[in-house]
Structure 1
Amino acid sequence: MPMPTEIRQRAEILIASEKARYAELHPRSRQMAAEAGAHFPGGVPLHWMLDWETPFPLFVRAAKGSTVTDVDGLTYSDFCLGDTGAMFGHSPEPVARAIAAQATSGLTAMLPSDLTAEVGRLLASQFGLPYWQVTATASDANRAVVRWARALTGRRKVLVFDGCYHGQVEDAFVKLDGGKTKMKPSLLGQVVDVAENSIAAPFNDIETAEALLACEDIALVLTEPALTNTAMVLPKDSFIEKLIDAAHRHGSLVCIDETHTISTGPGGYTRTHNIDPDFFVLGKPVAGGLPAAVFGFTARVEADMNRVLAEKTPGYSGIGTTLSGNMLALAAMRACLVEVMTPENFAHMTSLAEKLAAGLRAEVARHGLPWTVTQIGARAELVFSERPLESGAEAAAAIDHTVERAIHLFLLNRNVLVTPFHNMTLVAPSTTGADVEKLVANFSAALDALCGKEGR
């Protein structure tokens, strides 16, 4: 259903007024943006930091637990949490202690640390796959999995789903356009058409996936359990299980990318739903916010890896980076797995996320809006659709950047942060009931403004 014209018009007015309010509230951030802009384009060290679409970036002085403090001394209840990088809160105490202790005993040596065996056991126990490798980011992990799958199967093609997100992996930058796979035009500097070896399929459409796999030229199916970097799309019952079964029948490998859906529970969506992929990827929060990621794989895959390594021409494989698996990352990862990613913390996170989702739904209903709220564990998202979405195409049609931006700016100016890319919220172990109430109350006020109910 298209966004009502009057709501979008009010959103545009609201954006203008909230930008002015932001500028008044953040003089020190404005000054720091100007100073940093002398050497960092836009005043930021990563251009994604401009996606908040504030008049100038919000500069952070400190972040602890679920609270962010900016350079103007304002504090925020943080439901963005570094877009999942700080899903377990900013600087969790066990991780901070582990980093401090390891920092005096070496950061990186391109050699395994004395924690390696223990971290391997922890990963296997928590996520169910016996073998692991460590990378710096989930993008690196996904790229490594794609290369391994092609090497192991002798096939070139990768199947992804329309609306997916797998970091910087070029093979995933495809979409469906008129029923055909095309490279996303947003991909910068790409000289080879990735659509030659990547196939986009509609999410939740097992019949189409089965037909594509039946050609038996697909090396890897790379998928999230739920589409999470667009308007959220949850899988239909048994879709992921049927997908894995079809892939294996046709000689394809499957990788489940849990970088966002780790919000489901301690073992991610994979363990919660007893999924059996060939590869498993987890990035962002696995080391408590320190840059690190992992990919796991089965014993059969490990045996095939050994075969390929024994047969390949000597030289660099193109898989791995010097800082991967460094001592500092292993120390942080161990602390996070043992003391932070616990069932008790996930129970708290999921319970509060359920309260948050219920509160948002109640406000949507009170305002008579045809929107839904989707939840997967600790992650909840407002979706501009009258029913839960089923595909990437539906997700793309549901997005309204103007209304999103109005809500985000309104909340930010009232000391609540949500993810700037879409209407995603995360609950951390440190999030409180008061934080949730604050978000719901200010969301209600934002809807009042969008629906013209202010002062009534």
Structure 2
Amino acid sequence: MNTVDRRRLADLTSRERARFAEANPRSASAYANGKHLFGRTPMTWMAKQAGGFPLYLATARGARVTDLDGHTYIDLCLGDTGAMAGHSPAPVVEAVRRRTADDGGLTAMLPTEDAEWVGAELTRRFGLPQWSLSLTATDANRWAIRLARAITGKPKILVNSYCYHGSVDESLIVVGPDNKPHIREGNVGAPVDTRVTSRVAEYNDLEGLEAELANGDVAAVLMEPALTNIGIVLPEPGYLQKVRELTRAHKTLLINDETHTFSAGPGGCTKEWNLEPDILTIGKAIGGGVPVGAYGLSHEVSERIEARKDLDLIDMGGVGGTLAGNALSVAATRATLEHVLTDEAFAHMTALGTHLAEGTADAIKTMPWSVTQLGARAEYRFADPAPTNGGESHAAGDAELDDYLHVYAANRGILLTPFHNMALVCPDTTKDDVDAHLEVLEAAVKELEQDR
């Protein structure tokens, strides 16, 4: 990052924040008045905003978001994949309307026929034959971990350093600079030292993975096929196939978390790359904006679970939730998968993702940065070549530079994911939308380079 004049960066960021504050008085006021909300927002991470306060939502449709001050943005954040189907897609809105109108019922602790359709469609896309529903991917991961421990009799879960699996306790562990496991910085109120429950290896590090599995106490490897929430990190050739071989050799289950990597295609990385997980978890995007999650099981795993008559899968065994599989979430999921995030939609989105990645590479060509694409998603990192593991990607972070680029984009009608430089397209995103973002990004970089 020695190519960036830090004083100029600070001056530009101050200028952009002043412009942001002047343009968004109603959002600023709403944030200031959030006195009964912890962190002044409904969820504390909503306060993570480059402009100093969050924009407040008024309306959203397709690839557009409008805030309280009446500004409309091209949304390339899309709820950090939660709105990958676009905002308020018509089929989902209609499915929700049907469930809420005419005494349709939202939740009744009774199954609906839509659920079997959803299970069959998830099987078509991802290959796993048995599915169960949750409200979030975090819950799906938690329940998958419990099932893995139950049927293997092993206590530990192995994850990749700087992975993201929601707020799963076992995932908050990293490989430290001494090449030893460390509790991830900022872990809030951990119920137990994560090193007791978990093992960790860097992504793309087969030697490190094999060494950890050799301890014989790992119930499951929980991993994203490609790292995402620390910047997109892609697998090196043969890596994922070798992970599968090693987990089988050590009698360890493999859980693929496709919550973010679903951007790779209609069946995520699992379908695109011919992967064979024992369990697959997913959430966010499949509900079209309505909370939902799911986990899929292989035949072998489901049979092993069902054979264990001592496991309470019905009441207080720790797997399930009262609202999981509720009629509203299931109806929204069916509408999303059947009519919105279709195979054809993904073809359009992936083509736009390629245009986005290629255009981003051109916009930042004068900087020592890199761009990585995962289907409908592209992201740049402040490192070249691109990081190959979570530790390298974490080291490439620059919060001050992030803030400048994000508030600069927001001031010109572009929304990016606040936590990193990810841009995602949805079925309603157009080439003109992507080009507008690329024009703004190029301008931001040029301003940063002046007098360099």
In structure 2, give the amino acid aligned to 1:106: G
Q: Give the structure 1 partner of residue 43 of structure 2.
A: 46
Over 3 Å counting, the alpha-carbon distance change for 1:38 and 1:346 in structure 2 is same
- Report the CA distance between 1:213 and its aligned residue: 1.5
In structure 2, give the amino acid aligned to 1:298: S
Q: Give the structure 2 partner of residue 344 of structure 1.
A: 344
Q: Give the structure 2 partner of residue 181 of structure 1.
A: 181
SS at match of 1:294: strand
Moved more, 280-289 or 48-57: 48-57
| Aligned ranges 1:108-257 → 2 under 5 Å | 108-177=107-176, 178-257=178-257
| Aligned ranges 1:93-112 → 2 under 5 Å | 93-104=90-101, 105-112=104-111
Q: Give the structure 2 partner of residue 402 of structure 1.
A: 400
Q: TM-score, normalised by structure 2?
A: 0.97
SS at match of 1:61: strand
Contact 2:232 2:374 in 1 (8 A): no
Indicate which of 58, 74, 78 corresponds to 1:77: 74
Deviations 1:173-221 (A, max 9, x none): 0011111112123111124112112011011011221222122211000
Moved more, 169-178 or 184-193: 184-193
Q: Give the structure 2 partner of residue 92 of structure 1.
A: 89
C-alpha distance in 2 between matches for 1:117 and 1:429: 25
Q: Give the structure 2 partner of residue 430 of structure 1.
A: 428
Deviations 1:68-115 (A, max 9, x none): 001111110000000100011101111111111111311011121122
In structure 1, give the amino acid aligned to 2:83: A
Contact 2:405 2:441 in 1 (8 A): yes
Identity in percent:
43
In structure 2, give the amino acid aligned to 1:351: A
Contact 1:372 1:382 in 2 (8 A): yes
Deviations 1:137-188 (A, max 9, x none): 0000000011110001000011100110100100000011111112123111
SS at match of 2:318: coil
SS at match of 1:229: coil
C-alpha distance in 2 between matches for 1:318 and 1:120: 22
C-alpha distance in 1 between matches for 2:185 and 2:352: 39
Moved more, 202-211 or 435-444: 202-211
C-alpha distance in 2 between matches for 1:215 and 1:127: 31
C-alpha distance in 2 between matches for 1:395 and 1:300: 36
C-alpha distance in 2 between matches for 1:453 and 1:263: 39
SS at match of 1:373: strand
C-alpha distance in 2 between matches for 1:204 and 1:173: 18
C-alpha distance in 2 between matches for 1:118 and 1:357: 35
C-alpha distance in 2 between matches for 1:137 and 1:9: 42
Deviations 1:46-70 (A, max 9, x none): 1111112322221110010000001
In structure 2, give the amino acid aligned to 1:273: W
Q: Give the structure 2 partner of residue 55 of structure 1.
A: 52
- Cα RMSD (Å): 1.4
- Report the CA distance between 1:42 and its aligned residue: 3.9
SS at match of 1:337: helix
C-alpha distance in 2 between matches for 1:402 and 1:312: 50
Moved more, 329-338 or 119-128: 119-128
Contact 1:174 1:198 in 2 (8 A): yes
C-alpha distance in 2 between matches for 1:226 and 1:6: 29
| Aligned ranges 1:353-372 → 2 under 5 Å | 353-365=353-365, 368-372=366-370
C-alpha distance in 2 between matches for 1:402 and 1:101: 46
Contact 1:8 1:403 in 2 (8 A): no
In structure 2, give the amino acid aligned to 1:225: P
Q: TM-score, normalised by structure 1?
A: 0.96
C-alpha distance in 2 between matches for 1:22 and 1:208: 46
SS at match of 1:282: strand
Contact 1:164 1:227 in 2 (8 A): yes
C-alpha distance in 2 between matches for 1:173 and 1:326: 30
In structure 2, give the amino acid aligned to 1:10: R
In structure 2, give the amino acid aligned to 1:333: T
Contact 2:202 2:208 in 1 (8 A): yes
C-alpha distance in 2 between matches for 1:431 and 1:311: 50
C-alpha distance in 1 between matches for 2:346 and 2:451: 37
Deviations 1:222-255 (A, max 9, x none): 0001110012211111211110111011100000
Unaligned stretches of 5+ in structure 1?
Answer: none
- Report the CA distance between 1:414 and its aligned residue: 0.5
Indicate which of 8, 28, 41 corresponds to 1:30: 28
Contact 1:225 1:235 in 2 (8 A): yes
C-alpha distance in 2 between matches for 1:118 and 1:150: 29
C-alpha distance in 2 between matches for 1:312 and 1:42: 40
In structure 2, give the amino acid aligned to 1:73: G
Count residues with an aligned counterpart. 448
- Report the CA distance between 1:453 and its aligned residue: 6.2
C-alpha distance in 2 between matches for 1:221 and 1:42: 34
- Report the CA distance between 1:7 and its aligned residue: 3.2
In structure 1, give the amino acid aligned to 2:93: A
Contact 2:230 2:394 in 1 (8 A): yes
In structure 1, give the amino acid aligned to 2:116: A
C-alpha distance in 1 between matches for 2:395 and 2:217: 31
